Amino acid sequence: MAVQISPSILAADFARLADEAAAVPNADWLHVDVMDYHFVPNLTLGLPVVESLRKATQIPLDCHLMIADPDRWAPQYAEAGAGSVTIHAEASKAPVRTLREIRSLGARAGLALNPATAVEPFEGLFGEIDMLLLMTVEPGFGGQKFLDMVLPKVRAARAMIERHGGSVWLQVDGGVTAETIERCAEAGADVFVAGSAVYGAADPKAAIDALRAAAAT
């Protein structure tokens, strides 16, 4: 499994997003947290910012939709040029339709699960997704403490993915640092979101290299 690092711009300076993207040329993805004050108690950004960011960087955008009605909005993020669009299982009323729509628009389709949401009920959707995102904090805010309780689920999800041919990426998001990333990688994750560990560092580019090295050990 190749390690991929997706720095979250939630921890970046929102008034300087183009510069903040340029500060991480070694990132595989740019993780864009979309929050709507409904699914989570925080508000960040939406389609206009994604459209602008798309033009301001070559790094593909990994849009994580923490919104109440992803079935309505997810396709528009794919149309706006996102390389990957992830919807929450807790919020989607029609995940099969929405995931298929995301794929039909040329983006990778992701399904996200909160820390307390079991993965087993969603095994039937593995043929519809390109990535499974397991939240390792409660969604809504950056800078929270990594939840160790999610690690057995990462392990179980990795086993399920292998049973389905191994092509689904397994992303973890929340509290990922040079220390916690090792445990996530060991449990089977291969795509790592990091907000404060990258943009809170004096040298974001070096922080990504350090995360990548730690995940590979």
Binding region for substrate: 8, 64, 140-143, 173-175, 195-196
Does residue 10 interact with ligand DX5 by CB under 6 A?
Answer: yes
Angstrom distance (rounded) from CA 104 to CA 56: 25
Out of 7, 50, 64, 75, the only residue in the binding site for Zn ion (CB under 5 A) is: 64
99 vs 184 by CB, closer to ligand DX5: 184
**What is the helix (H) or strand (E) element at residue 35, kind and residue range?**
strand 30-35
**According to the binding rule CB under 5 A, does residue 33 interact with Zn ion?**
yes
- Picking from 192, 89, 118, the residue whose alpha carbon sits closest to that of residue 184 is 192
Bridge partners, 133 (sequence order): 112, 171
Catalytic residue among 33, 36, 62, 130: 33
Among 87, 173, 181, 208, binds Zn ion (CB under 5 A): 173
Q: Is 215 one of the binding residues for ligand DX5 (CB under 6 A)?
A: no
Selected from 21, 23, 74, 193, the binder of ligand DX5 by CB under 6 A is 193
Residues near 109 by beta carbon (within 8 Å), at least 6 away in sequence: 84, 85, 86, 99, 100, 102, 103, 128, 129, 130, 131
62 catalytic? Reply is: no
Helix axes 70-79, 95-104, angle to 10 degrees: 10
Q: Residue 112's binding partner, choosing from Zn ion, ligand DX5, none, with beta-carbon cut-off 5 to 8 A by kind?
A: none
**Site for ligand DX5, residues 51 to 80, rule: CB under 6 A:** 64
Q: How many helices (H) and strands (E) does the chain have?
A: 8, 8
Give the active site residues. 33, 173
